[in-house]
Amino acid sequence: MAVRLEEALSAAAEHDRFYGAVLLARDGEVVLRKAYGPIDEAGTRATTGQPYNVGSVGKLFTMALVLERVEDGTLSLDDTIARHLPNSGLPGAQDITIRQLLSHSSGYGDYFSHPDYTLEQRTLDDFLDLVRTSKVEFAPGKGFAYSNSAFWVLAAILEATDAQDRDWQTIFAEDVFDRAGMEVREFQPDMEYAARPKGFALRPDGTVETTFDDPRPGPDGGWYTGVDDMLAFDRGLGHGFWFGTALREESERPLTYFPSLGADVGLVWEIYDENGRTYVTKGGTTTGGGAELVNFRHGKANYTLVMLSNLENAPLNIFRDVLAYALGDEGASLPGPAPLVAFYRAATQSRLPGASELKAWAERHGVTVRPMPMLMAANALRKKENYDAARSLLDLTLTEYPDNAVAKQLLAALPE
C-alpha cells in the first residue's frame, strides 16, 4: 500500500496536483513519510519536517477540548450557549447548542464574509463582535452552513468553564499541544516568517501561481505544524487523551450533510463512504494551502493518513484518488491532470460531454468525476463572465448530482 501510495502522490505532484508532506501510519506506526514539490518561488524542495498550515483541521483541537469537558461533566453537548455565556449578546444564544456549534448546524455563518472583517482582528472579543452582528441563517439544527464563527463561540465557552481561569490560547497550548507532544507555530497572515512555506494555487487554466492569504491561528484552525505532529495528535485521540470510546463514536455519527464535499458531518469530522470503506476525515482549505487527516480501516489494520500542503485545497481534492489507487480499488488509476482544469478547458472549448458520455470522457482523460472540481470550474467561468460555458457545466453537474444545492445556487445566480 505504501509503495502504491507513493506512486500515486508522485504522479499527482508531476501534474501540479499536490505539493507538501505526507505520512501514512498503520496501527500508529509510520510506513510512509515523504515530501513533494517546492516551498518557494526558487524551487526549494519540501521536507517532511516542514510546518504547514493545517487550516480547518485545527477544529479538531477545539473538538478535543470541548469533548474532554463533556467527558468530565463540565459541559453537555445539549447545553445552550446562554447556559455558559448568559450575557453574551450572541444571536440565538438561548437555542443554539454545543452539538450544533460542532456540527455546523447552528445557523451561524462565516466571519470571513462579514463586511467588518479585517486582518487586524486578533482577540476573542474581536471575533465575537463579528458573530454578534451577523444574522442566524436558519433555525438551529434545521440546516447546514460551514461556520468558522461557531468555533470562536466554543473558545469563549472553554474560557468561561476553565477551572484555572486560563485564556483560550493557553488552554490550547497546555491541554492539546503539550499533552500530545506537538510542536505548533502561530504565524499571522500579514507578517513574514522564514519558516513558513510560500503558498501556491493551481488555476483552472492549468497555470500555477503564488498566493498568500491564509487565516490566523484560532479555535477554527490556521495553526502551522508538521505531519509527525498531526500523527501525535491522532494517536492522542486513539489513546483517550481527551475523551473515551463512547464520545469518539458519538463524534463520528453523521448529523448533517456537507453538499459541496458530498460528505456527512458529525462533530467536526467529515465522513465519506466510498468503495466499501469509510473515511473519517477532517479537511482544511486555505488560499495558499490545505490539509487532510484521514482515518480508515483496511484488512485487520487501522490506518492514518496525514497530508499537509502549500498548494491550495490539494489534499482535499486528491486524497480519495490516491487512496483508491493505493488500496487497489477497481478502476482506480494513477492521478492525471486535475479535474478542475479538465472541466474548465472542456467548457471553454465547448467540448463538454453529454450526460451519457461523461463516464467514458472521464476515463479517456484520466479524470475522477466529483462535484467539487466541477463547481470550482463553473465558478471560475462565472467570474470570467463566460456565462454560457458556466451554465453548460452546471447543467452537466446537476445531471450527475441532481440534489446539489451549491450547483443550483450558482445556476440561479447566472445572468440570462
User: What mean pLDDT is predicted for residues 215-219?
Assistant: 89
pLDDT at 302 over 80: yes
pLDDT at 215 over 80: no
Exposed, middle or buried: residue 147 (CB in 10 Å: 0-12, 13-18, 19+)?
A: buried
Across 97-111, 288-302, 362-376, least confident range? 362-376
Q: What is the pLDDT of residue 62?
A: 98
Q: Report the alpha-carbon distance of residue 348 to residue 258 in Å, rounded.
A: 28
Cell digits of residue 10: 508522485
Dihedral sign computed on CA atoms, order 319, 324, 326, 327 = positive
Q: Report the alpha-carbon distance of residue 284 to residue 309 in Å, rounded.
A: 10
Q: What is the pLDDT of residue 120?
A: 83
SS3 46: coil
Identify the CATH homologous superfamily for domain 2-57+188-326. Answer: DD-peptidase/beta-lactamase superfamily (3.40.710.10)
Contacts of 21 (CB under 8 A, 6+ apart): 33, 34, 35, 36, 46, 47, 48, 49, 50, 52, 226, 227, 306, 307, 308, 309
Q: Which residues pair with 294 in a beta bridge?
A: 281, 305
pLDDT at 214 over 80: no
Buried b (16+ CB within 10 A) or exposed e, 192-216: eeeebbbbbbbbbeeeeeebbebbb
Domain boundaries, the chain: 2-57+188-326, 76-160, 339-413
State the amino acid at position 77 in one-letter form.
L
Residue predicted with more confidence, 337 or 329? 329
Q: Are 345 and 51 in contact (CB under 8 A)?
A: no
Q: Report the alpha-carbon distance of residue 71 to residue 240 in Å, rounded.
A: 11
pLDDT at 81 over 70: yes
Q: What is the pLDDT of residue 176?
A: 98
State the amino acid at position 75 in one-letter form.
L
Exposed, middle or buried: residue 178 (CB in 10 Å: 0-12, 13-18, 19+)?
A: exposed
Q: Are 308 and 81 in contact (CB under 8 A)?
A: no
**What pTM did the predictor assign?**
0.89
User: What mean pLDDT is predicted for residues 380-388?
Assistant: 94
Confidence label for 168 from pLDDT (cuts 50, 70 and 90): very high
pLDDT tens for 7-39 read 999 999 999 999 999 999 999 999 999 999 999
